[in-house]
Amino acid sequence: MYRIAAFFAACFATAALAQPYPHRPITLTVPFAAGGPTDTIARVLAERMSRSLGQTVVVENTAGAGGSIAVTKIMRAAPDGYSIGIGHLGTHVIAPAVQSITIDYLTELTPLGMVASNPQVIVSRTSVPGKDLKDLIAWVKANPNEASSGTGGPGTPSHISAVYFGNTVGTPLNIIHYKGSAPALQDVIAGHVAMTFDQAATALAQIKAGRVKAYAVTQKTRMPSAPDIPTTDEAGLPGFYMTIWHAFWGPKGMPRDVVVKLNASLKDALADPAVRKKLDDLGQEIPALEQQTPEALHAFHKSETEKWFPLIKTAGIKAQ
């Protein structure tokens, strides 16, 4: 009897293993609460990927600890392709640095593909004198006590950018932390803070309304949605780049054929005009096709880690 039961159990296990991937729903873990930009991006892609994969991609929100709870959950999941996660610069580079996490995200995750990116815009209150970035830098150097920068909180991208800017121009900014980037930008508009580094997706409306002055986008190319704003290279601060990029990862050790299938589904979604329109409406820029591969994501993730970890550690930036 036991031999017969064992035989059937083995048959069922073999049959399950033999089923083509995916044969059941896939969980996409989002490291933030529902309704935010990362969650919105995840849901747009999940819906489209469900069609090409033939299985539902279920979005699950696991917020907390700057994204490290969600990342740990993915690391501990079975590497079978049914548990994947979305993250960005903050969750996969800044968070482990400011939290002094000893786990190496580069080796303990399987990269699946880059999703989209959104640069920051250097903005100031309208009363700051000068018309361009060179004028702003000159003003910061001449007025170090008045040169304040609002951030979304300790260890956020806007905080890292403010430190990076001060290091680059040779004059530290006076950092003022807020509980989110929105109140920081509002205090710039109100004139209480001199400047901030805000995501283009949220800053552009205020720039177009004339409530803040825009100096440059922190990437190599101008934004199609704001072609009049120069890049930092063009504006006089070459090489000053900071983009809030999103990507997909899975647990370490995923089979190559599963990685290829998930990446193909992601590329298919990013090529869909309807998806591209939705992401464009969110201020997101879709990477070139050659930058959508797992290998390209790994290389980029590594370069971002090597760029930001030393700056964060040298500045003594810690999560609070």
Q: Which pLDDT belongs to residue 201?
A: 86
Q: Which pLDDT belongs to residue 2?
A: 47
Token readout for 4 is 């017969």
Q: Which pLDDT belongs to residue 18?
A: 63
Q: Are strands 243-251 and 212-217 parallel, antiparallel or unpaired?
A: unpaired
Q: Which pLDDT belongs to residue 13?
A: 42
Which residue is associated with the tokens 């990685």?
259
Tens of pLDDT, residue by residue, the chain (320 residues): 445 544 544 444 444 456 899 999 999 999 999 988 899 999 999 999 999 999 999 999 999 988 999 999 999 999 999 999 999 999 999 999 999 999 999 999 999 999 999 999 999 999 999 999 999 999 999 999 999 999 998 999 999 999 999 999 999 999 999 988 899 999 999 999 999 999 998 899 999 999 999 999 999 999 988 999 999 999 999 999 999 999 999 999 999 999 999 999 999 999 999 999 999 988 899 999 999 999 999 999 999 999 999 999 999 998 87
Q: Which pLDDT belongs to residue 52?
A: 97
Give the chain as a DSSP string. Answer: -HHHHHHHHHHHHHHHHHSPSPSS-EEEEESS-TTSHHHHHHHHHHHHHHHHHTS-EEEEE---GGGHHHHHHHHHS-SSSSEEEEEEHIIIIIHHHHTT--S-TTTSEEEEEEEEEEEEEEEEETTS--SSHHHHHHHHHH-TTT-EEEESSTTSHHHHHHHHHHHHHTS--EEEE-SSHHHHHHHHHTTSSSEEEEEHHHHHHHHHTTSEEEEEESSSS-BTTBTTSPBHHHHT-TT---EEEEEEEEETT--HHHHHHHHHHHHHHHH-HHHHHHHHHTT-BPPPGGGSSHHHHHHHHHHHHHHHHHHHHHHT----
Q: Give 305's contacts (C-beta < 8 A, 6+ positions apart).
A: 93, 105, 106
Measured between alpha carbons, how far is 146 from 148 in angstroms, rounded to an integer? 6
Which residue is associated with the tokens 């970890």?
309
Closest listed residue to residue 196, CA positions, set 218, 221, 229, 226: 218
| Residues written for the chain | 320
CA atoms within 13 A on the CB side of 270: 25
Q: Which pLDDT belongs to residue 3?
A: 54
Cβ atoms 74, 250 nearer than 8 A: yes
Could you tell me the end-to-end alpha-carbon distance of the chain, in angstroms, rounded to an integer? 60
Closest listed residue to residue 210, CA positions, set 229, 182, 189, 224: 189
Looking at the DSSP bridge assignments, the partners of residue 119 are 243
> Taking the complete model, does pTM exceed 0.75, yes or no?
yes
Q: Which pLDDT belongs to residue 19?
A: 86
Measured between alpha carbons, how far is 236 from 121 in angstroms, rounded to an integer? 14
Residue 42 sits at φ, ψ, to 5 deg, of -60, -40
